[in-house]
Structure 1
Amino acid sequence: MNIPIIFQFLKELSANNNREWFHAHRAQYEAARKEFEDLLTVIIARISMFDESIHGIEAKECTYRIYRDTRFSEDKTPYKIHLGGYINAKGKKSNHCGYYVHLEPGNCMLAGGSLCPPSPLLRALRQAVYDNIDEYRSIVEDPAFRQYFPVVGENFLKTAPKGFPKDYPYLKYLQCKEYIVTCYQPDSFFLAPDFLERTDEIFKQMKRFADFVNYTIDDFE
C-alpha cells in the first residue's frame, strides 16, 4: 500500500487529462489503481471489526471507472482526477449509507450517506428525523461526531419541505436534500503513519449516523 504512488499519478493526470497521455501512462494508472484497491482492502477489513455488514466485501466491488461520462457535460476532459471507493453492504449503487473514500490531491475526503435519494425516500428520511428528533440530535450534535461532520447535507431548501411546519425548531435538519456527511482531509492525512487508526475513528462516528439512515431505508423498502 503506497499512497504517494496514487497522489503522484493523479497530479500528473490532472495536468495531462487527455487520451494520448493516459494511454502512454497506462502502466502508471494500473499501479495507482492497484495501490488504491489495496488501501480499500485494508480499510474494509478494519471497518468490518465494528460493522459486520460489510464483512467479505471486495475492494473491486467498491471502485468506480476512471472514465468520465462527458455526454451531457461542457467539460469534455475524458478522465476523473480522483480515485473513489464506496464500501456499502448493499452495493455501491444503493441508496443505503456506506463508507466513501475519496483520494484527490487537494480535495480528499471520507464521507457517506444517502446521496440523491428519490423523493419518496427523502420524504421518509425527513419524517424519521422529525419523529425521532431527540435520537437524531444525540448523534449529529454530539461533539465527537461534529468534530468530523459539522454539517449534514450539501444542498438545502430555503423553506420548510412540504408537509412539515415552518416553525419547527429544528427545521435545518429537514431542509437538506440529501442525508450525507463529509469529512475533508488534507493530503497529508493519508500520508501520516496513523492514518488508518484515524480513519477508523472517523468512520466509527459516521456509523452512528449511517445506522439511523439505514434503519429508515430498510423500513421504507
Structure 2
Amino acid sequence: MSHSIPKETLSFFKKLEKNNDRDWFNENKSEFKAIEAKVKSSYNHLGELMNAHDQIEKIKIFRIYRDVRFSKNKLPYKIHFGGSFARRKPELRGGYYLHIQPNNESFIATGFWEPNKEDLLRIRKEFEMDDSEMRAILNNTEFKSIWGDFVGDELKTAPKGFNKEHLSIDLIRKKQFIFTKKYTDKEVIAEDFLEVANDAFKKVRPYFDYMSDVLTTNLNGESLL
C-alpha cells in the first residue's frame, strides 16, 4: 500500500479555493473524506518513520474547518492539510509540522512555535551566557543546507533585562525558534516524499537535543526533571 500524499489532495484544494462555500463542500464531501483518510494514513506513516529516530507522543491533524469568529477572512474552509507531531514530554522538547497546500505552498517546519515565558527566558539566558553550541548547530553545513536559518517573530530591540549591545542579541531577541523547508507540488506527490521529509526531520536532532538539554536544566546545568 502506498503511503505517499495522494495527487488528488492538491487538485481538490485547487477546486475548493475557487468554490470555498458550504454548498460546494457538502456536495463534494465524500471526495474530501476519501482524500482525508488517505492523508491521515500518510501522516501516521511519517510518524512511524520518525519513531525510528525520535519518540513521537502524539500526531494531530487539524480540521478543514476554519475558525472565522475573530478573522476578517470569513471563508469557511482551509485550503491545506496541517498536522503536528509532538515529542515525548517533559524530557523531549520541540515539535514537527507538515503542511500540504497546492501551488508550491507546502512545507515542513520544526522547532518552538510559542515557548511559554519561562522557557523563553531560559533560552535567552542560555544564549546570553554562551551561544557557542547554538552557533555550531546553525553553522553546520549539512544542517544549513536543509533548514537554513531561524524564521519567526522577534523583538526589534532587546527584551527587558537584556543588553541590546550583547553579541548574541540576534538570538536573544527572538520570540520563536522555528525552521521551515518548502516543497513544490511535484516534490510533495513524489513516491518518496515522506522519506525525504523524515530525513530532513532526522537532521534537526542536534538542535532538539541541545534545546531539550537547556529546557530541562537550570543555568548551573542541574536537571529540573
Q: Normalising by the residue count of structure 1, what TM-score does the alignment of the two structures yield? A: 0.87
Report % sequence identity.
Answer: 29
Distance in structure 1 (CA, Å) of the matches to 2:10 and 2:39:
10
Pick from 53, 56, 70 the counterpart of residue 72 of structure 1: 70
Distance in structure 1 (CA, Å) of the matches to 2:35 and 2:130:
44
Is the CA contact (8 Å cut-off) linking 2:138 and 2:144 kept in structure 1?
yes
Q: Which structure features the higher share of helix residues?
A: 1
Corresponding residue SS for 2:147: coil
Aligned counterpart, 1:155: 153
Is the CA contact (8 Å cut-off) linking 1:6 and 1:35 kept in structure 2?
no
* Structure-2 change in CA distance of 1:96 and 1:32 (3 Å): farther
Unaligned runs of 5+ in 2: 218-223
Deviations 1:154-192 (A, max 9, x none): 222121222222222232112221111111111222122
Distance in structure 2 (CA, Å) of the matches to 1:76 and 1:115:
25
Letter in 2 for 1:97: G
Pick from 27, 37, 42 the counterpart of residue 40 of structure 2: 37
Aligned counterpart, 2:221: none
Shift of 1:72: 0.7
Letter in 2 for 1:67: Y
For the pair 1:133 / 2:144, whether they are aligned, the reply is no
Is the CA contact (8 Å cut-off) linking 2:97 and 2:109 kept in structure 1?
yes
Shift of 1:118: 2.6
* Structure-2 change in CA distance of 1:204 and 1:131 (3 Å): farther
Letter in 2 for 1:98: G
Aligned counterpart, 2:96: 99
Deviates more, 1:31-40 or 1:162-171: 162-171
Pick from 14, 17, 24 the counterpart of residue 21 of structure 1: 24
Is the CA contact (8 Å cut-off) linking 1:101 and 1:111 kept in structure 2?
yes
* Structure-2 change in CA distance of 1:129 and 1:32 (3 Å): farther
Distance in structure 2 (CA, Å) of the matches to 1:132 and 1:42:
38
Is the CA contact (8 Å cut-off) linking 1:5 and 1:35 kept in structure 2?
no
Shift of 1:39: 0.8
Distance in structure 2 (CA, Å) of the matches to 1:35 and 1:119:
38
Is the CA contact (8 Å cut-off) linking 2:149 and 2:179 kept in structure 1?
yes
Distance in structure 2 (CA, Å) of the matches to 1:124 and 1:83:
33
Is the CA contact (8 Å cut-off) linking 1:113 and 1:213 kept in structure 2?
no
Is the CA contact (8 Å cut-off) linking 2:84 and 2:97 kept in structure 1?
yes
What is the CA RMSD across the aligned residues, in angstroms? 2.2
Q: Normalising by the residue count of structure 2, what TM-score does the alignment of the two structures yield? A: 0.85
Shift of 1:25: 0.7
Letter in 1 for 2:64: I
Larger radius of gyration: 2
Pick from 118, 121, 125 the counterpart of residue 120 of structure 1: 118
Equivalent pairs counted in the alignment come to: 213
Corresponding residue SS for 1:88: strand
Unaligned runs of 5+ in 1: none
